[in-house]
Structure 1
């Protein structure tokens, strides 16, 4: 599953770069860039067999319309909004969450980037100890279980995106994509 998702992400991102280079170089906001990446990721995921999954920008709702939350490193509840996610919107309790993406420009403060990285570690954790078990029936109270998380840092001067990939709460890979 992870390899199909990874391939879907990379295919969508390549198409995004083909279509949006001028938009990227003009200094458009991350929210705008994610909005243009979203439909491409949804199409690539569907083509890879992930039908029924949706991409959402700045999505902040959980089951029953509650605000999405995670637990931070001290197990405190924190409200979250992720830049871009691929998920089933609670329709597939066996595997609701697939990809979470956070995007920042190089010039943003390091503290903001660290918050995004921390969010991705939390979102990609399998569960929060003794709070939710992955029984495939009930959705978790706090958002977790994303198969992949990507932190994308845009250096538009160098025309490069620097990526970090997260799985199971850990940084597992770094790679660059030039445009």
Structure 2
């Protein structure tokens, strides 16, 4: 599944960078760019027959209507909404969370970038206390378990895109891509 998800992300991001060059170059708001990337992700999710999954932007609710939360490094509860997520909206408890994506422009404050990266580490952790309900019935109290997380940083001036990959709470890869 991880390889499939990585291919879906890479193909979607390549298509996004190619097709949305005008939007990116015109320095449109990150929310618009995230929405555009979500369209390409959705198309690839459907092409790969992951029919019970959704691509959502700024999504902040669990299936029961509660606000999604994570635990920070000091185990404080933090309300979250990730830029883009691919998930089953709680309908497939054993494999609910697939991809989490945060996007920033390179000219944003460093603290915002750090916060996004911390969020991806938390979202991709397997659990917070090494106890994970894997009974296929119970959702975890705090959101985690995303198979992959991606941090995208767009440098419009240099026409470069930095991509960092997060898995199991750690950054595992990064590369720079021209657009």
Q: Which TM class, normalised by the smaller chain length? A: over 0.9
Aligned-partner SS, 2:10: helix
Show the 5 A alignment for 1:1-179.
Answer: 1-129=1-129, 132-179=132-179
Q: Which runs of 5+ in 1 are unaligned?
A: none
TM-score by length of 2: 0.96
Kindly report structure 1 stretches of 4+ aligned residues shifted beyond 6 Å.
none
TM-score, length basis structure 1:
0.96
Query: CA shift at 1:127, angstroms?
Result: 1.0
Contact 1:132 1:141 in 2 (8 A): no
Q: CA distance change for structure 1 residues 144 and 98 in 2, over 3 Å: closer, same or farther?
A: same
2:61/2:67 contact within 8 Å kept? yes
Which SS does the other structure have where 2:93 is aligned?
Answer: coil
Moved more, 128-137 or 22-31: 128-137
Gaps of 5+ in 2: none
Q: For residues 132 and 144 of structure 2, what CA distance do their matches in structure 1 show?
A: 10
| Distance (whole Å) between structure 2 residues aligned to residue 53 and residue 66 of structure 1 | 20
**Paired positions, count:** 179
Distance 1:177 1:96 in 2: 30
Q: Is the 8 A contact 2:133 2:139 kept in 1?
A: no
* SS in structure 2 at match of 1:142: coil
RMSD of the TM alignment (CA)?
Answer: 1.1
Distance 1:136 1:74 in 2: 29
Offset at 1:3?
Answer: 0.6
In the TM superposition, residue 130 of structure 1 has moved relative to its aligned partner by 5.3
Q: 1:47-100 deviations in whole A, cap 9, x for unaligned?
A: 223221111110010121111100111111100010011111111111000000
